[in-house]
A and B are shown apart, each in its own frame.
Chain A
Amino acid sequence: MTEPSPSFKKAMLAALPSLRAFAMSLTGRPDRADDLVQETVMRAWAKQESFQPGTNMNAWLFTILRNLFYSQMRKRGREVQDTDGAFTASLGVAPPQDGVMDLADLKNALNRLPPDQREAILLIGASGFSYEEAAEICGCAVGTIKSRVNRARNRLQEILDVSGSGDYGSDAGSRSVVSRAFAG
Chain B
Amino acid sequence: MEGRHFDMEDEDGDKRSWPRPGDPLAPGGRIGARLRALYKEIESEPIPETLIDLLEQLDEAERRQSR
Query: Which A residues have a C-beta under 8 Å from some C-beta of B?
Result: 1-6, 9, 12-13, 16-18, 20-21, 24, 34, 37-38, 41-42, 45, 54-55, 91, 94, 97, 101, 103, 106-107, 110, 121-122, 124-128, 130-133, 149, 153, 156-157, 160
Q: Is the CB of A41 within 8 A of B58?
A: yes
Q: Give 27 pairs: A residue, B residue, CB < 8 Å, sorted on A.
A: A2-B66, A4-B63, A13-B47, A13-B52, A16-B47, A34-B51, A38-B50, A41-B55, A41-B58, A91-B38, A101-B37, A103-B41, A106-B31, A107-B38, A121-B31, A122-B35, A124-B18, A125-B36, A126-B38, A126-B39, A128-B18, A128-B27, A128-B36, A130-B16, A131-B17, A132-B16, A160-B31
Specify which of B32, B39, B48, B58 lies most central, judged by the most chain A CB atoms within 10 Å of its CB. B39
Bound CA span A37–B50, Å:
11
How many A-B pairs with Cβ below 8 Å? 117
Supposing A42-B58, A124-B19, A153-B31 touch, asked if A37 and B51 sit within 8 A by C-beta, the answer is: yes
Q: Which single residue of chain A is at the shortest CB-CB distance from B15?
A: A132
Q: Is the CB of B42 within 8 A of A91?
A: yes
Q: How many residues of B contact A (CB 8 A)?
A: 42
Bound CA span A164–B24, Å:
14
Bound CA span A18–B44, Å:
10
B50 to chain A, nearest CB (A): 7
Q: Is the CB of A157 within 8 A of B62?
A: no
Q: Is the CB of B11 within 8 A of A157?
A: no
Q: Which residues of A contact B45 (CB under 8 A)?
A: 17, 20
Q: Is the CB of A1 within 8 A of B18?
A: no
Supposing A4-B62, A54-B11, A126-B36 touch, asked if A153 and B50 sit within 8 A by C-beta, the answer is: no
Q: Is the CB of B58 within 8 A of A38?
A: no
